Amino acid sequence: MAVAESESVFTPATSRNTRGMLRVIILALIAAAAVSSRLFSVIRFESIIHEFDPWFNFRATKYLVQNGFYSFWDWFDDRTWHPLGRVTGGTLYPGLMVTSGVIYHALRFLTLPVDIRNICVLLAPGFSGLTALATYLLTSEMVTSPSAGLLAAAFMGITPGYISRSVAGSYDNEAIAIFLLVFTFFLWIKAVKNGSMFWGALTALFYGYMVSAWGGYVFITNLLPLHAFVLICMGRYSARLYVSYTSWYALGTLASMQIPFVGFLPIRSSEHMSSLGVFGLIQLVAFVDYVRAQLPSKQFQTLLRAIVLFVFVVAFGGLVLLTVSGVIAPWTGRFYSLWDTGYAKIHIPIIASVSEHQPTAWPAFFFDLSMMIWLFPAGVYMCFKRLTDEQVFIVIYAVLASYFAGVMVRLMLTLTPIVCVASAMAFSQILDTYLDTKTPKVDSKETGSSDAAKVAAAAVLPDGLRSTRKPVVGIYSYASKLTVVGASAVYLLLFVLHCTWVTSNAYSSPSVVLASRLPDGSQHIIDDYREAYYWLRQNTPDNAKIMSWWDYGYQIGGMADRPTLVDNNTWNNTHIATVGKAMSSREEVSYPIMRQHEVDYVLVVFGGLLGYSGDDINKFLWMVRIAEGIWPEEVKERNFFTPRGEYRVDEEATPTMKNSLMYKMSYYNYNSLFPAGQAQDRVRGARLPAQGPELSTIEEAFTSENWIIRIYKVKDLDNFGRDHQSATSFEKGHKKKRTAKRKGPRVLRVD
Amino acid sequence: MAPKSRAPATTPSTTAPTTTTASTPAKSSKSGSSSAPQDILTGIWNNYVNKTPSRVKLLDTFMAFLVVVGALQFLYCIIVGNFPFNAFLSGFSATVGQFVLTASLRMQTNPENSKEFEGTSHERAFADFVLGSFLLHFFCVNFIN
């Protein structure tokens, strides 16, 4: 960013070519900075896929690369959602996998054999460079000042709000989707400005790409019609708007329907209805506009009234008819939760249980956007000042995205681009005003009159801000210039520091591999996940079914390559609730469930030894809630709380809690690590009961080094047809047979 | 049906100011003196026939044809049923999309709009039109199954 400043200092002296050259170099540097600031995790850990969803994307990409596009398209995956399976090809957004597949084959073609894993790991940083470029283009369409575009690109490159989803290894849909989002908006602005079918068609193409990449495409589907609608309402309808909107909609909708997962949604679901409605509206407006040009005004009014009435009756009747007959699907749950933040918690616990669907806490805004959060309103205000077609777009985008970002943490991602653009506009305005060296020349006028002129100009001219750029009302003293420029430079430097710090500390952890510090300050890598998954891969049969909570489904599929019952796709709530019920019930209830689903191994995550808080006991209440949603009379959330309403795991835990399979699996044998009666859970800070839980239907198979992952084998049916409880007690009795027999008489002796 | 019956009801209120002010051009006052709906419509029609360039008329004919084809498809869908929904949808959206693209071409090439589209020559507009149609039909063919 310091480079961006120096560029505007250079301007008087250098020619246009040099400036263009500088701009290219600066953009390349920004892209390089964007890429390299995302590499913390690769350098600190290794080139590894992060978190949960990326593991599925990675697995799908490998499938695509190995089996080709067509079998990927028809892929039925029988190794997930056992016994149901998943029509993977038709239920995913293929954009990400196809992109990396294309890159892979292109590099092969250039005789650069790169491992597909490295392409997947580095895809997100690579696309972040492109995002910075797209932000530059978008901002340059908004304002004339070239420094605004460069600043916006730099902001976009390093802002934590975007880095959070695009560090190396976070191979998720958002990695390419944000680039596509920004670039589609750029093309749209271009189309509206020029009124050209070419740009409209390009918008539609990139919109189609975006649809294939991320479910967040609905944001575009609603924002562009809203922009068009607001422009029409402001009386700014023009033939250019008609051309750009209709060519985008006609082509873009068709393009979006090519994706099997989207299919007929664009004409069926309510989320897409606004764009269809605006499409119809703009046809009418165009027609009316055409007729108005042909007719004198009085006749036109008569005609207009008739048309408006007719259209209203037809449209309203049609809407009622379609809704009643059920052709238009009602709004999906995820969208209800956008309007009513409490909705999901009551009706769909599975959506509310995902942490990224929670409402945003306010410090997150400062954390992710730093100083831009207070520059952002200034930029939006500047857009209000001029309010051309494209600045209306900024205002609408800002308002909508701010709301959505407040509702869902994940949607902070859609807010980030507009914040970067708006705050870069505000910041470049400051810099352009205060970095102008020419102003002192017009000292011939006395200051008093120029002050008066300034007031008068501000009163008369509607665009007061632009008038301050005129030399007459410029900044006179060097001291004030230096102060403001210096302060801005300090802010920029602090911003860079903040972004780097946040990236390195908060967003660069793979969460598959954990890092901790030893007392001497050296780094200690905790690799329990991979240890356990590797154990599964090596020690279990190829088709052993693993039951775990859905969070770990993708990882088990990706790293251990074993079939799972549920995974992060969460398309079947009942199936997830079944697993939740098995986890939260007594062993006698769980065992038949596990037998019915052919479960061979059960995997739990337990952080009590290490103090790892993201473990299954902490997620347990969600399992209970989801199971309760399906079997309200068998699983009751209330029974897991003590009478005083506490969620406890120690001596005072409720019997339901103590007898639940999850509790037993987590704490089984745990007190053997400690001196008698000293067993301690370091996450919940609780001292555990002296007598640990007993397991009868499952047996411990593997526990990782730090006890984070524990794997249990589900026992086969008993050979003698006994139930497992009696079999276990018999085993125990058998082991202490002689003592028991001697103890039998002891009872007698007491008598 | 409803608006047609409603339209004459509103006309008396609007005719009065038209005749009294009489500030409108001669042509309009001629038709405005009897501003029954059919007069307005015939006025539009005459205006259209006289003023529109023949090239634009050609485009209009094409658009009318597309409207007819689209309406026929829709009618078929309602009467017979929408069984190959893909096919109906792609056929229908092909007509709608082509209509829209042609309307855009008409706007861009219409001399009345020349100040809106300063940077667009007729050749450029036609090239855009061809590109748009090409994409449209590619998507439709791909979607039709």
Q: Domain of A586: which CATH number?
A: 3.40.50.12610
Please tell me which of the candidates B35, B44, B124 has its beta carbon nearest to residue A294.
B44
Please tell me which of the candidates B40, B129, B139 has its beta carbon nearest to residue A254.
B139
* Alpha-carbon torsion (A366, A367, A371, A377), positive or negative: negative
Query: What Rg do the C-alpha atoms of chain B give, in angstroms?
Result: 21
| B88 part of a folded domain | yes
Closest CA to A281 of A257, A314, A253, A256: A314
- How many domains is chain B partitioned into structurally? 1
Confidence of residue B9 (pLDDT cuts 50, 70, 90): very low
Please tell me which of the candidates A242, A251, A305 has its beta carbon nearest to residue B132.
A251
Please tell me which of the candidates A197, A249, A303 has its beta carbon nearest to residue B128.
A197
pLDDT of res. A734: 60
pLDDT of res. B115: 76
Domain of B57 in residue numbering reads as: 38-144
Least confident interval from A5-14, A624-633, B3-12, B79-88: B3-12
pLDDT at B22 over 50: no
Q: How far is CA A216 from the centre of its chain?
A: 9
The mean pLDDT value for A456-481 works out to: 58
Give every CB contact of residue A229 below 8 A, 6+ residues apart in sequence.
A274, A278, A281
| B13 part of a folded domain | no
Q: Inter-chain contact A306–B6, Cβ cutoff 8 Å?
A: yes
Can you spell out the DSSP letters for A724-735?
HHHHHHHHHHHH
Confidence of residue A689 (pLDDT cuts 50, 70, 90): confident
Domain of A627 in residue numbering reads as: 526-731
pLDDT of res. A284: 86
Residue B95: closest CA among chain A residues belongs to which residue? A250
Q: Please count the CA atoms within 13 angstroms of the CA of A487 that sit on its side-chain side.
A: 9
Most B-contacting residue of A276, A291, A298 (CB-CB within 10 A), to test interface: A298
| B66 part of a folded domain | yes
pLDDT of res. A439: 52
Q: Which helix (H) or strand (E) holds A525?
A: strand A523-526
How many angstroms separate the CA atoms of A439 and A424, rounded? 23
pLDDT of res. A496: 92
Chain B residues whose CB is inside 8 A of the A253 CB are: 93
Most A-contacting residue of B41, B82, B104 (CB-CB within 10 A), to test interface: B104
Q: Inter-chain contact A302–B108, Cβ cutoff 8 Å?
A: no
Give every CB contact of residue A556 below 8 A, 6+ residues apart in sequence.
A533, A536, A546, A548, A562, A564, A567, A603
pLDDT of res. A352: 66
| A573 part of a folded domain | yes
Please tell me which of the candidates B48, B124, B132 has its beta carbon nearest to residue A294.
B48
Confidence of residue A259 (pLDDT cuts 50, 70, 90): confident
| A712 part of a folded domain | yes
The mean pLDDT value for A358-386 works out to: 86
Place of tokens 């699983």: A635
| A680 part of a folded domain | yes
Q: Inter-chain contact A302–B40, Cβ cutoff 8 Å?
A: yes
| B6 part of a folded domain | no
| B113 part of a folded domain | yes
- The ipTM (two decimal places) reads 0.76
Q: Inter-chain contact B2–A309, Cβ cutoff 8 Å?
A: yes
Residues of A with CB under 8 A from a CB of B: 194-198, 200-201, 204-205, 238-240, 242-243, 246-247, 249-251, 253-255, 257-258, 264, 267, 283, 286, 291, 293-299, 301-303, 305-307, 309-310, 313
Confidence of residue A14 (pLDDT cuts 50, 70, 90): low
How many angstroms separate the CA atoms of A46 and A48, rounded? 6
Q: Which two tokens stand for residue A597?
A: 């689903």
pLDDT at A277 over 70: yes
Most B-contacting residue of A73, A197, A321, A322 (CB-CB within 10 A), to test interface: A197
Kindly report the average pLDDT of chain B as a whole number. Answer: 74
Residue A266: closest CA among chain B residues belongs to which residue? B89
Q: Which helix (H) or strand (E) holds A292?
A: helix A273-294
Amino acid letter for position B96: V
**CB-count exposure of residue A485 (10 Å: 0-12, 13-18, 19+):** middle
Q: Inter-chain contact B131–A196, Cβ cutoff 8 Å?
A: no
CA distance B28 to chain A (A): 6
Chain B residues whose CB is inside 8 A of the A198 CB are: 124, 127-128, 131-132
Q: Bin A169: left if φ > 0, else alpha if -120 < ψ < 50, else beta.
A: left
Q: Inter-chain contact A204–B135, Cβ cutoff 8 Å?
A: yes
How many angstroms separate the CA atoms of A706 and A176, rounded? 36
Q: Inter-chain contact A198–B51, Cβ cutoff 8 Å?
A: no
pLDDT of res. A347: 62
Q: Inter-chain contact B10–A257, Cβ cutoff 8 Å?
A: no
Kindly report the average pLDDT of chain A as a whole number. Answer: 82
Q: Which residue has the higher pLDDT, A203 or A444?
A: A203
Most A-contacting residue of B60, B135, B138, B145 (CB-CB within 10 A), to test interface: B135
Can you spell out the DSSP letters for A63-82?
HHHHHHHHHHHT--BTTSTT
Confidence of residue A99 (pLDDT cuts 50, 70, 90): very high
- Cis peptide leading into residue A83 (ω within 30°): yes
Distances B101 to A662, B109, B137 between C-alpha atoms, Å:
61, 12, 12
Chain A residues whose CB is inside 8 A of the B143 CB are: 254, 257-258
Chain A residues whose CB is inside 8 A of the B18 CB are: 298-299
Least confident interval from A58-72, A87-101, A124-138, A430-444: A430-444
User: Which tens digits make up the pLDDT trace of A117-162?
Assistant: 999 999 999 999 999 999 999 999 888 888 899 999 999 999 998 9
pLDDT of res. A349: 65
Chain A residues whose CB is inside 8 A of the B10 CB are: 302, 305-306
How many angstroms separate the CA atoms of A531 and B71, rounded? 64
User: Which tens digits make up the pLDDT trace of A501-547?
Assistant: 988 888 888 888 887 777 887 878 888 888 999 999 999 998 889 99
Place of tokens 């006028």: A445
User: Which tens digits make up the pLDDT trace of B96-105?
Assistant: 999 999 998 8
How many angstroms separate the CA atoms of A131 and A175, rounded? 10
How many angstroms separate the CA atoms of A660 and A572, rounded? 23
Please tell me which of the candidates B85, B101, B107 has its beta carbon nearest to residue A239.
B107
| A723 part of a folded domain | yes
Q: Inter-chain contact B35–A200, Cβ cutoff 8 Å?
A: no
pLDDT at B17 over 50: no
CA distance A722 to chain B (A): 57
Q: Inter-chain contact B103–A286, Cβ cutoff 8 Å?
A: yes
| A625 part of a folded domain | yes
Please tell me which of the candidates B31, B51, B128 has its beta carbon nearest to residue A196.
B128
| A612 part of a folded domain | yes
Please tell me which of the candidates A196, A258, A302 has its beta carbon nearest to residue B35.
A302
pLDDT of res. A345: 58
User: Which tens digits make up the pLDDT trace of B30-53?
Assistant: 444 456 777 777 877 887 888 788
Distances A170 to A39, A121, A252, A525 between C-alpha atoms, Å:
11, 7, 28, 19
pLDDT at A203 over 80: yes
pLDDT of res. B2: 36
pLDDT at A351 over 70: no
Chain B residues whose CB is inside 8 A of the A302 CB are: 7, 10-11, 14, 35, 37, 40
How many angstroms separate the CA atoms of A349 and A628, rounded? 10
Least confident interval from A59-73, A324-338, A419-433: A324-338
| A569 part of a folded domain | yes
pLDDT of res. B10: 36
Q: Which residue has the higher pLDDT, A540 or A457?
A: A540
Counting residues of chain A whose pLDDT is more than 70, the rounded percentage is: 86
Confidence of residue B13 (pLDDT cuts 50, 70, 90): very low
Size of interface A-B (CB pairs under 8 A): 144
Least confident interval from A344-358, A641-655, B114-128: A344-358
Evaluate whether A248 touches A207 at the Cβ level (below 8 Å): yes
Least confident interval from A160-169, A297-306, A375-384, A641-650: A297-306
Q: Inter-chain contact A246–B100, Cβ cutoff 8 Å?
A: yes
Least confident interval from A26-35, B31-40, B75-84: B31-40
The mean pLDDT value for A345-356 works out to: 65
Count the Cβ atoms, other than its own, within 10 Å of residue A683.
Answer: 18
- How many domains is chain A partitioned into structurally? 1
Count the Cβ atoms, other than its own, within 10 Å of residue A67.
Answer: 12
